[in-house]
Structure 1
Amino acid sequence: MTVEEAFAMMEDAEKTKEDNTVFCEIDAETRKITVPETYKILGVESDEDSERVYFRAPRIVGDKIDLATLGLRINYQNANSQKDSYPVDDLTVENEFITFSWLLSRKAVAYKGAVKFIVCAVRIGDNAEISNEWNTTLASAEVLEGLEVDLSGIPDEEGKDLLEALIAQSQVKLMEVGEATEEAKRSAERADTAADSAGHAADAANNAAEEARRALEELKGNIGIDDNVVSENKTYSSKKIEEMVAVQLLTDAVLKNEIKTITADVQYQNGVLTITENEARFSGAFIQNIPVKKNTDYYISFKSKRTSNNGGGVVIYGSTPEDSDDKIIDDKRSILNYSGIFNTGEYEIIKVTFYCSTPATEAPNTCTFQNIILIEGENATPYVKNVKDVVKEVAKANKRIETLETDTDVSEKTVTFEMAAERAGVESGDSLAIAFGKLAKYCVDLKDHAFADPVNNLLGTDATLPLAATQGKALDEKITESNGNLVYTQQFIPEIAKNNIITDLLNININGVMNEPYMYPGSVATEDASTLKNSPIKTGAFYTYREVFFIPNQGIVGNTYGKTIIRLTEAYPVSGRIWTNVYNTDLNDWTGWKSITPV
């Protein structure tokens, strides 16, 4: 089987796995988690990080809360009633849903019986208090009975040396793969002048991958410790391998014994560096006095997690024997899962600080770092865990080599792409397929009016033509005028009139000016009519509704000479009685109050 065939098989297997993923479905209305048969059994007592439960939920829940913007965690209680929480670190948005998973720790499945759990989503505000929290109802699954073996009878040093030997031997082989793969990549960049060299580098990468596979198989049955005799079927202690390789500067021994803390609790165990703040704002751990070469590139990489929004990265400081003050060389203090290159410049000594800092307004942070590598040289190959990853990297290198060898002229090449779902700008780093997909979306969304001259008036009837920008002012003036008319009209509705209390019933404008407050409809409401002016009722209670009407002379609209009518619709003491009083500008006098009493 060729490397390409192996790569294709692995890609197909991974795609099939993704398509067949079974989810615990979360109902946003009932808050219920439906646990499928696949997850009814979570595992066996004392399993650790060997089973994963997948969840799917609507992205928008409750009062338009977007779960994709909240921090998710799984709150659980094991069969021994011990409670803990698992922070979700793999949330993915898929259209209107989100998916995430729960990696089952030893604590979750430590005891046989029922494990209860919920999904909790939380948003922390600027004042370090919870501003939103959304929870599911309780779900449960079973843990089966197992059998835990007591390993205390194995001598500590023997077990320690054996473990270190296995890890170190694997590191040596995988570093060889990284070097060979990197050489293949560099050769690919020079493919126009050194295609043969690139081919040799690819062969070397393939050979290194095969050697790594054989080495891992040998580690299963050919275990032995011998630092004095070079042998093909013996593994060496970690100390001996470090002496032979002399590249990994942050070994397990260094991380375990030379780490120093900054207002934090630090633990290094099983290859994982855990830092927990005990004071807010500035916490972490560091390793100092690491000797390096001047003006030399070094490669650092790690995988990391954090429980807050800061930290989880590193800062590299440099110093010289003459000047011990630390100077920042590379600052990646809040970048998770980092891999990159820095140059030592004039410095001969460096300090690596692992940061776990948070603002004082947030809860204490916990950061974990693993797969930590610090080596000399430009090793841009990501951390390799097993042979499967090695084959992937080699296959990728081979494909890049083939592309550079055959596709040096792209002037006649075609691009296959899918149109983007939404308009978005072309960004640096976009592939041609992505860029063309974005451009296609813009072209499709362009309407006919994008290519037509705009209409510079408000009289056009063709809906396909755009309106000139200068017409915005004209529209604004029309809207302002309409709003003014609307305000004037609203003054005459009963809802407004009930709050317009009138005490002088003849206090009006007799020239037909209607847009004054004292001309609006209003209410007369009093228990003592003697307090009113120009009222037809002089004593006792009087409740009535007043309206004003103007009739211009000779039927000419806008004439300020005419007749003004005041009409009262009485509610009490005589319900339904109508009072009228008319002012005639020709006579300059009122007719006096006249009434019509209902039968």
Structure 2
Amino acid sequence: MTVEEAFAMMEDAEKTKEDNTVFCEIDAETRKITVPETYKILGVESDEDSERVYFRAPRIVGDKIDLATQGLRINYQNANSQKDSYPVDDLTVENEFITFSWLLSRKAVAYKGAVKFIVCAVRIGDNAEISNEWNTTLASAEVLEGLEVDLSGIPDEEGKDLLEALIAQSQVKLMEVGEATEEAKRSAERADTAADSAGDAADAANNAAEEARKALEELKENIGIDDTVPSETKTYSSKKIEAMAAVNWILESKLKSTQDLRSESKYENGKLAVFNTQPTETNHAYTRITLSVKKNTEYTINWKSERTGKTGGGIWINGTDNSVINKEHTNELNGSFTFNTGEKEEIFILFIASLGTNSGGAVGDSATFRDIMLVEGENETPYVENVRDVVKEVAKAKKRIETLENDTDISQKTVTFEMAAERAGVESGDSLAVAFGKLAKYCADLKPHVFADPVNNLLGTDATLPLAATQGKALDEKITESNGNLVYTQQFIPEIAKNNIITDLLAINTNGVMNVSYMYPGSVATEDASSLQGSPIKSGAFYAYREVFFIPNQGIIGNTYGKTIIRLTESYPTVGRIWICVYNTDLGKWSDWKSTTPV
């Protein structure tokens, strides 16, 4: 066996592994996701990017929607009811099907219990609004209980020993990788006579590489270094702090999986470049990302940017329903602004390559963005260049804190105030005397029932006691019931019945349900009785007043088995003739029409 044949054998083994991939199957008709046993358990709480779930779906769904042209994402809710979305970045078309996967983040499996998820496909039109959206029904899988260790409480000496042990373990694993790789190369060169040895060495290299990867991940976890998620609860080396100071706080994974509109984008070396490829007169060329945010919260976004054309280089914020949150900075370089999320839990951040051609944009225009920060609060976040600046800022903050601690200790101070004349809320800028005066007025105006347990029924007679809020629902139900009875009664007024024209005389409910429109009294009024259904008169003119009655079996109230009577009082052609037809639920059929003619 030659070296080339050995590598070909390894490629064939990898292809066989791909052919054995297990998929969550999506039914285009029912929208149901069938989760196989392989994925019933997603992992253990606090896993991160260690498991991947594969999906397969028909390419064409719904009203000829091609999923291969849609933006796909996995919307999920973890076991702690926290929601987020994973943008699909590996969609593959295979004949009439598409396949894609979901790499499980720490947030998805952060808590033990059920994780719920759907697949959402969205297409955005030229007007930046959703033109198609297709969703599956809800599926779920389990996350098992794990054990997360917080090393922040470990004494320095113990932490140092643990860190040194982890580093040593990592170095040993890396040495094993190098040795196993070299052995694989030597074995491959001897492949003509020692193919088995080459295979064994390759397996050893793979195993050692996996062990080294795990050891490095464990090392990163225990010393608090995370390349994508800064944390206030972990400690960092000076090298990590310097890297964090320069990093864009919007995750690289987001910036690498943007959705382009009339543009092409590329993220590389910390910079997001967006190129205008399909200019229109009024529509901007941009790419966008989706981020989860808190509702009704102020955020400030900062960025550095440059452009090749006359327009673009700014940022626009929308809700994921494409409602505009802020579009005033689309043409601003090196900008910053504050916005409020309102009721939104997810937003689109649009990176503008250039404006529409009517506003000066042109094909080939581009904008490049870097140092993109999104922080909670109204204040612009200053950019920090290196660790030295971080240390200076910390020192300044510490000095300010010490000053405040010395000047604002009021634990032993007294406050003299007068009670306010009227109730009013405490406002920013109020002195302590004014604030306490307002609070005193509120306390004085409190009635005794504020401190009494509420009455949780509708039978109380003590006017000084409050009524429990839950009784609001009980009152609403009684009002609704009364209104329903009133409407039901009104339907039987002959004035109402004259407008209820009946053409199918036996089309009624035979189970004693009376409060529906087709059970109300009504009029039979036609010049051609052959057009009627279930009528005792088959031809000519026929005019009558119809009524429906129900008699429960054995006189049991609420019994849905009994006799339903239809009575017709005829006005033409025979005045005063009474027609009777009965449905017996025991027999399951109608009787013949019987008539009584007045003398």
Provide TM-score, normalisation by structure 1.
0.34
| Greater Cα radius of gyration, structure 1 or 2 | 1
Q: Which has the higher contact order (CA 8 A, sep 6+)?
A: 1
Provide TM-score, normalisation by structure 2.
0.34
